């Protein structure tokens, strides 16, 4: 069962502030990098939500994937439009299977060399 906090969307301003604080980037510096007025950018970290276009620009300028941060907060069984095999879990499963196969081949080679 989901709790009320799981149903409410994350605060984008807080997510942005965390990244800016971690990287020690000021609002003025961010505004310069985005070629925007400082007063507009200054309030981004105070907003609970931001337009996708703005989040995209912030992701590009800060080289931080805010969309992945948002996606990580959703249940893993939610559908996406990603091509089959594109999710991280699919890639991990594929690599684990490959690793298992390589270990079997290595064991076989070791047995042949002993004979």
Banded model confidence at residue 5, pLDDT cuts 50, 70, 90:
low
Q: For the segment 7-45, what is each residue's pLDDT rounded down to a tens digit?
A: 688 999 999 999 999 999 999 999 999 999 888 888 898
Query: What pTM, to 2 d.p., does this model score?
Result: 0.65
**CB 44: neighbour CB atoms within 10 A?**
21
- Structural tokens at position 27: 């609002």
- Please, are residues 42 and 84 in contact by the beta-carbon 8 Å criterion? no
Q: Distance between CA 97 and CA 37 in Å, rounded?
A: 51
Looking at residue 95, its pLDDT comes to 87
pLDDT in tens, 54-92: 999 999 999 999 998 998 888 878 877 777 666 677 778
Q: What is the mean pLDDT of residues 88-106?
A: 86
For residue 1, pLDDT over 70 is answered with no
In contact, 45 and 13? CB cutoff 8 Å: yes
């Amino acid at each position: 069962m989901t709790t009320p906090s799981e149903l409410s969307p994350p605060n984008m301003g807080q997510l942005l502030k965390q990244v800016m604080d971690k990287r020690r980037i000021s609002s003025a510096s961010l505004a310069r990098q985005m070629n925007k007025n400082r007063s507009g950018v200054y309030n981004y970290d105070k907003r609970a939500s931001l337009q996708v276009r703005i989040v995209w620009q912030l992701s590009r300028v800060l080289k931080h994937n805010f969309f992945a941060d948002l996606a990580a907060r959703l249940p893993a069984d939610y559908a996406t439009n990603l091509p089959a095999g594109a999710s991280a879990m699919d890639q991990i499963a594929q690599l684990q299977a490959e690793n298992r196969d390589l270990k079997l081949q290595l064991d076989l080679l070791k047995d042949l060399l002993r004979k």
